[in-house]
Chains A and B, each alone.
Chain A
Amino acid sequence: MSTVYDAIIVGGGHNGLITAAYLAKAGRKVLVLERRHVLGGAAVSEEIYPGFTYSVASYVVSLLRPHIIRDLMLPKFGLDIIPLDASFSPLPDGNSLCRWDDAARTRREIARFSPRDAEVAPEFSRAMARISRFVKPIIDGPAIDPASVGPEELWRLLKLGRRFRGLGKDNMVRFMKMMTMSASDFLDEWFESDVLKAPMSVSGIIGTFLGVRSPGTAYVLLHHYMGEIDGAFRSWGFSRGGTGMVSMACAGAAKHFGAEIRTEAPVSKILMKDGRAQGVVLENGDEIRAKVVASGVDPRRTFFGFVGEEHLDPEFRRQISRYKLRGSSGKVNLALDRLPEFKSRPGDEHLRGDIAIAPSVEYLERAYDQAKYGEFSRRPYINAVIPSLVDPTVAPPGKHVLSCFVQYAPYHLKEGASAWPEKREAFGDTVVDTLAEYIPGLKDIILHRQVLTPWDMEQQLGLTEGNIFHGELSFEQLAFLRPAARWSHYKTPVRNLWLCGSGAHPGGGLMGGPGELAARAILSSGETN
C-alpha cells in the first residue's frame, strides 16, 4: 500500500507552495506536484540565455502579503524584495515624466505639465492609501458573501459596514466610484494632465481584456494600489534573483516544514470516486492518494481538465465555462549588451523603477481598439523594467535584462489562438520597434530576445487562455463571486477538492493570499485530520 498523503497540491506555483507550507506547518503530510522542471508557475526565474536570468512571466512584486512573509519566515529561505525607486514615462516628443520616491521631486516633475496636478497628486495618494487600508482586511480574509445568511458571515458583513463608515464621507464616495467607473474617468475627476493620467490609468487594465475607458477598470487600479511593502501602500519591488526567488523561498519554507515537492510530475486527472476527490493520477499512470486535493491551477483547467465535466452539476459547470480568462498580455524579455539610453533623458537613475510606454490616454485606448477585433496592438502599452540595474545577480557585469510586459496581446486572435506561433516574432518586432522610438540604439544592443505570447503562457506555464491572473480581475469575478457564486471559500462542489490558486479570492498577482487562505480553510474543515 502506497503512502496516503493528507494533502496533494496540484501545481508548484507560489500559491500552491504557500498552501503546502501552511499545511505542513500545521503538521500535515503534504505533496506538491509540479508539471515543469522548475517551480514557480508564472513566478519563475529561468536562465534562457547564458548569464541572464529572466523573470519569465511575473516580474514585479508588491502584493505579497507581509504576514505570509513573517509566518513562513520567507527571508530565511532567500526572499529579498528591493523597492522600485522611480516610475518613468518617456514621451515621443522627447519630453518625459518621472515620479520618484521623493515627494518634492515628484511635485516638481508633475508641475512641468500641470502645477495643479502636482499638488493634487499627494492628495490622491493619501485617498488611495486610505481606501487600500479599508480593502486590506477584505483581501486578507476569506471573501464575505452577502448572499449568505450564516451568523458568522452576517457578523463580518456588519463589521465591514462599520469600517466602511470609518472611511469618512469623501472616501466612501470615492470607493463607490472606483467600484463602477473606468480608470480614465476616475482619474479625470482628479487630474488634468494626460501625461500623468496615462501611466496612472494603466494599472486599471493590467491583465484584463478591457480598455482604460471601460467601466470597472477603476477597481483594478485600486487592486494595484494595494501593493504594500513595509507598510507603505503603492510600492513595488523586484525580487532579488528574479520573481522565481519568491517561489523558491516559498518552496524552501514548505520543505522546511516537511512538505514533499516533486517536479516533472504532471498530473493528468484528479482521482474521483463517489463524487469525491481521492488523489491524483499522474501522466505516467501513477496513482497517488490523499485526503484532500488542493489545486493551484486555474478553475477552468482544474474542473474541465483534471476533474472532468461529468462530475460537475450543470449550474456550476455553466459558471466555470463562463468564467472569463481571455488573456490580454504578452511578455518580451531582452538580454542587452549594455544599458539602454532613452533619448528623452540620459543616465540611469530614472531607470531603476518601472518604465511605462503610455504617452497618452488615447494611445492606450487605441491599443485596445485593435485588441477588441482580435489583433495585437501595433503600438502597445509596455511596462518595462531593468532589474539588473538594482539586482546584479540577473545579468553579467555591465549587461542588462530589459523585461517588458506588453498589452494588448489578445489570446483570441481573429485567426484563432493557434495562430499565435506564426505571429510570435512579428509581435516581438512590434514591441522592439515601439521601444526603439524611445531608445534609438536599442536594436544594436539586443543579445537575445524571448517572446511570450498568451498562447505560450498557456502552453508553457499552464495559464488557461494566457490569463496572468487565473481569471480577469473584474468586479463580477472577484470576492464572493470568485471563481463562482457560492463557491468563493476555496471549497468546491467536488468533495475534498479545494482551490488554492489565483482563481480564488483575493485573486491574482504575486500575493499569496489564495494560497494562505485556502490552507486555513482546509485546516479548519477537518478534512485532513
Chain B
Amino acid sequence: MPEPTPFHERTAALCKSYRWKEWAGYHAVSFYDVCHSTEYMAFRHSAGLLDVTPLFKYDVRGKDAAAFLSRIMARNVHKIKPNQVSYSCWTDGEGKILDDGTVMHLDEDFYRVTAAAPTYDWLARHVRGAAVTVEDVTAKICALAVQGPQSKNILKAVSDADIDALKFFRATAGKIDGVPVTITRTGYTGDLGYEIWTKNEHALKLYDAVYGGGRDYGIRPAGLDALDIARIEAGFILAEIDYFCAKDCLIESRKSSPYEIGLGWTVQLERGPFIGQAALAREKEEGSRWSLVGLEMDWEELESLCERYNLPPQLGSGASRAGLPIYSGGEQVGKVTSSTFSPILKKYIALASLRSEYAELGTEVQLEYTVEYERHTITARVVKTPFFDPERKKK
C-alpha cells in the first residue's frame, strides 16, 4: 500500500482526475486533469511542477566520503566540485548496472546520492572502516521539480538564491518563503529545469510558495505520464523499463553494462580501483554486445499502412513501455523499451536496445507495428539522442 508524500495534501486537492500510480512506495499523480497533454505542454512551454519525493536519497558524510563514493560510482567523485551535481551510475563487481542517479556535492565532505531503487545496503556494506556515514534520508527529505522554459523566472521570483548564476548541473542553498532549501539545476525532462530539496516539515509551505509564485508564469502541476513523454524526448533511460538492476535479474541476459545502455560516458576508468572496473575495462576494449539507441519511425510509411485499413495513424496518446521486437532481414536484432509520439517533434520515437552492429547512426531496421490486431513492420532509423535538446537547457 503506497503512502502519501509530504506534498499530498496539495497534489491531492489539485488531482481532479483521481489518476494515481505507485512510485517507489508513494502515491504519485499520473495526470491531474483530463489527460496528460497540457502537463506535457507545460514542461515544454511554461513550467510543470512535479513531486519527485519518491526518489531514494542518501546523505554521505565524512572525510572519506569522496573516496568512498568514488569506489562505488562509475564516475570519479573526487572530480565533482563543491556545489556541482553529477549524473552517474554504479555497477556490481561484474560491471553490470545496479542503478543510475545523481551525486550532489553539497558541502565539504558531504554528498547526497539519489537513486531509483533502494541502495542503502549497497552503500553501507562498502563502508567498512572508512571515515564515512551513510544515512537514508528518503523519508526525511522531500523534493519538487520545476521544469520548463519559465522555471528560471519562477525560481528567480520565489527564491533568494542567485538563480542567474546557477549553471547547469550545479547546486545552491537558498530560501523560499523562509524555507531553507537546496536548489539544483537538474531534472528528467531534458529542458531548462530545477529541483528543490527540503525537509519534510517544510513541504506545504514550499509547495504554496512555488505554485503560488509560479501562477503568473503559467506553472501547472504535472504528473508522471507527462514526464514519461518528456524523458523519452530527452533520451533519458528509466530503471526497470529500459534496463534492469543486475541484482534483480533472474537470468544473465537481462543484465546490462553501462556501455550497453548509453551510460558509457559516465564511466571513468583511468583512476583508482572501483567496483566493476576490471570488467568495464575489458568490455570497453572488446566492445559491447548491445547498444542503446534512439529510433525514429518513418511516419509516412506508418500513415500509409494505416490508410490500407482506412484508418488514421494509430498510436497511444501517451508514452508506451511495451517492449516491441526490432528486425533486420527477418531476424530479431533488438527491442524497443520505451516509445512515444513526440508532440513537439511530430514524430514517433523510441529508445531501443539493438545489437551493436546495428547501432550506427542512420541504420535502418524494421519495428513491429500492429494495426487492427495484425502485425506489420515499419522502417525505423537510428538517430542521435536527445531527440529534443533545446538550447535553454544549458544556457
Chain A positions within 8 Å of B, measured between CB atoms, are 66-67, 69-70, 75, 80-83, 85, 100-102, 105, 129, 133, 166, 230-231, 240, 389-393, 397-398
Please determine whether A391 and B45 come into contact, CB atoms closer than 8 angstroms.
Answer: yes
CB neighbours of B341 from chain A (8 A) = 230-231
For residue B271, CB closer than 8 A to chain A, the reply is: no
Task: Give the distance in Å from the alpha carbon of A242 to the alpha carbon of B363 in the complex.
Answer: 38
Chain A interface: which of B91-99, B168-176, B254-262, B344-352? B344-352
Task: Give the distance in Å from the alpha carbon of A82 to the alpha carbon of B42 in the complex.
Answer: 9
CB neighbours of A166 from chain B (8 A) = 310
Closest chain B residue, CB of each to CB of A166: B310
From residue B324, how far is it (CB to closest CB) to chain A in Å?
19
For residue B187, CB closer than 8 A to chain A, the reply is: no
From residue A161, how far is it (CB to closest CB) to chain B in Å?
16
CB neighbours of B45 from chain A (8 A) = 80, 82, 240, 390-391
CB neighbours of B346 from chain A (8 A) = 66, 69-70, 75, 230
Closest chain A residue, CB of each to CB of B313: A231
Q: Select one of A67, A100, A129 contacting B300, CB under 8 A.
A: A67
Contacting residues of chain B (26-84) with chain A, CB-CB under 8 angstroms: 34-35, 37-38, 41, 44-46
Please determine whether B217 and A397 come into contact, CB atoms closer than 8 angstroms.
Answer: yes
Task: Give the distance in Å from the alpha carbon of A100 to the alpha carbon of B16 in the complex.
Answer: 15
Contacting residues of chain B (117-174) with chain A, CB-CB under 8 angstroms: 149-150, 153, 157
Q: Select one of A100, A230, A391, A398 contacting B343, CB under 8 A.
A: A230
Please determine whether B315 and A83 come into contact, CB atoms closer than 8 angstroms.
Answer: no
Task: Give 15 A-B contacts (CB < 8 Å), ordered by A residue.
Answer: A66-B299, A66-B346, A69-B345, A82-B45, A100-B34, A101-B34, A105-B34, A230-B346, A231-B312, A240-B45, A390-B46, A392-B150, A393-B149, A397-B217, A398-B216
CB neighbours of A392 from chain B (8 A) = 46, 150, 153, 216-218
Chain B positions within 8 Å of A, measured between CB atoms, are 34-35, 37-38, 41, 44-46, 149-150, 153, 157, 216-218, 299-300, 310, 312-313, 315, 341, 343-347, 388
Closest chain A residue, CB of each to CB of B219: A392
From residue B94, how far is it (CB to closest CB) to chain A in Å?
40
Closest chain A residue, CB of each to CB of B311: A133
Please determine whether A80 and B44 come into contact, CB atoms closer than 8 angstroms.
Answer: yes
Q: Select one of A75, A81, A83, A101 contacting B388, CB under 8 A.
A: A75
Closest chain B residue, CB of each to CB of A85: B38
From residue A404, how far is it (CB to closest CB) to chain B in Å?
21
Task: Give the distance in Å from the alpha carbon of A120 to the alpha carbon of B217 in the complex.
Answer: 38
CB neighbours of A85 from chain B (8 A) = 38
CB neighbours of A100 from chain B (8 A) = 34
CB neighbours of B38 from chain A (8 A) = 83, 85
From residue B160, how far is it (CB to closest CB) to chain A in Å?
18
Task: Give the distance in Å from the alpha carbon of A392 to the alpha carbon of B157 in the complex.
Answer: 14
CB neighbours of A398 from chain B (8 A) = 216
Known: A133-B312, A392-B218. A70 touches B345 (CB 8 A): yes
Task: Give the distance in Å from the alpha carbon of A105 to the alpha carbon of B299 in the complex.
Answer: 32
Task: Give the distance in Å from the alpha carbon of A166 to the alpha carbon of B157 in the complex.
Answer: 57
Please determine whether B157 and A397 come into contact, CB atoms closer than 8 angstroms.
Answer: yes
Closest chain B residue, CB of each to CB of A163: B307
CB neighbours of B344 from chain A (8 A) = 75, 80-81
Closest chain B residue, CB of each to CB of A352: B38
Task: Give the distance in Å from the alpha carbon of A397 to the alpha carbon of B46 in the complex.
Answer: 12
CB neighbours of B388 from chain A (8 A) = 75
Please determine whether A129 and B312 come into contact, CB atoms closer than 8 angstroms.
Answer: yes
Closest chain A residue, CB of each to CB of B42: A390
Q: Select one of A67, A80, A102 contacting B299, CB under 8 A.
A: A67
From residue B159, how far is it (CB to closest CB) to chain A in Å?
15
Q: Select one of A129, A391, A397 contacting B216, CB under 8 A.
A: A397
CB neighbours of B153 from chain A (8 A) = 392, 397
Task: Give the distance in Å from the alpha carbon of A80 to the alpha carbon of B218 in the complex.
Answer: 15
CB neighbours of B310 from chain A (8 A) = 166
From residue A160, how far is it (CB to closest CB) to chain B in Å?
14
Task: Give the distance in Å from the alpha carbon of A240 to the alpha carbon of B47 in the complex.
Answer: 13
CB neighbours of B217 from chain A (8 A) = 392, 397
CB neighbours of B37 from chain A (8 A) = 83
From residue B247, how far is it (CB to closest CB) to chain A in Å?
39
List 7 A-B pairs, minimum CB-CB distance, nearest first.
A397-B216, A392-B218, A102-B34, A66-B346, A398-B216, A240-B45, A69-B346
From residue A347, how far is it (CB to closest CB) to chain B in Å?
13
Highest count of chain B CB atoms <10 Å: which of A70, A82, A83, A100: A82
Task: Give the distance in Å from the alpha carbon of A392 to the alpha carbon of B45 in the complex.
Answer: 8
Highest count of chain A CB atoms <10 Å: which of B35, B150, B300, B345: B345
Please determine whether B41 and A82 come into contact, CB atoms closer than 8 angstroms.
Answer: yes
From residue B318, how far is it (CB to closest CB) to chain A in Å?
12
Known: A85-B38, A133-B312. A391 touches B299 (CB 8 A): no
Please determine whether A231 and B315 come into contact, CB atoms closer than 8 angstroms.
Answer: yes
Please determine whether B34 and A75 come into contact, CB atoms closer than 8 angstroms.
Answer: no
Task: Give the distance in Å from the alpha carbon of A390 to the alpha carbon of B216 in the complex.
Answer: 10
Task: Give the distance in Å from the alpha carbon of A375 to the alpha carbon of B218 in the complex.
Answer: 40
Known: A82-B45, A166-B310, A390-B46. A70 touches B34 (CB 8 A): no
CB neighbours of A390 from chain B (8 A) = 41, 45-46, 218
CB neighbours of A129 from chain B (8 A) = 312
Highest count of chain B CB atoms <10 Å: which of A75, A85, A390, A393: A75
CB neighbours of A102 from chain B (8 A) = 34
Known: A80-B45, A82-B45, A391-B45. A70 touches B299 (CB 8 A): yes
Highest count of chain B CB atoms <10 Å: which of A80, A240, A397: A397
Closest chain A residue, CB of each to CB of B310: A166
Task: Give the distance in Å from the alpha carbon of A391 to the alpha carbon of B312 in the complex.
Answer: 30
From residue B14, how far is it (CB to closest CB) to chain A in Å?
13
Task: Give the distance in Å from the alpha carbon of A239 to the alpha carbon of B245 in the complex.
Answer: 42
CB neighbours of B299 from chain A (8 A) = 66-67, 70
Task: Give the distance in Å from the alpha carbon of A133 to the alpha carbon of B157 in the complex.
Answer: 46
Task: Give the distance in Å from the alpha carbon of A67 to the alpha carbon of B303 in the complex.
Answer: 11
Q: A69-B346, A392-B46 are in contact. List 14 more A-B contacts (CB 8 A).
A: A75-B346, A80-B44, A80-B45, A80-B344, A101-B35, A166-B310, A230-B346, A231-B313, A231-B315, A389-B218, A390-B45, A390-B46, A391-B46, A393-B149
Task: Give the distance in Å from the alpha carbon of A465 to the alpha carbon of B257 in the complex.
Answer: 66
Task: Give the distance in Å from the alpha carbon of A168 to the alpha carbon of B256 in the complex.
Answer: 52
Closest chain B residue, CB of each to CB of A392: B218
Please determine whether A75 and B345 come into contact, CB atoms closer than 8 angstroms.
Answer: yes
From residue A227, how far is it (CB to closest CB) to chain B in Å?
14
Task: Give the distance in Å from the alpha carbon of A113 to the alpha carbon of B310 in the complex.
Answer: 35
Closest chain A residue, CB of each to CB of B344: A75
Task: Give the distance in Å from the alpha carbon of A392 to the alpha carbon of B344 in the complex.
Answer: 18
Closest chain A residue, CB of each to CB of B314: A231
From residue B68, how far is it (CB to closest CB) to chain A in Å?
42
Closest chain A residue, CB of each to CB of B150: A392
Closest chain A residue, CB of each to CB of B157: A397
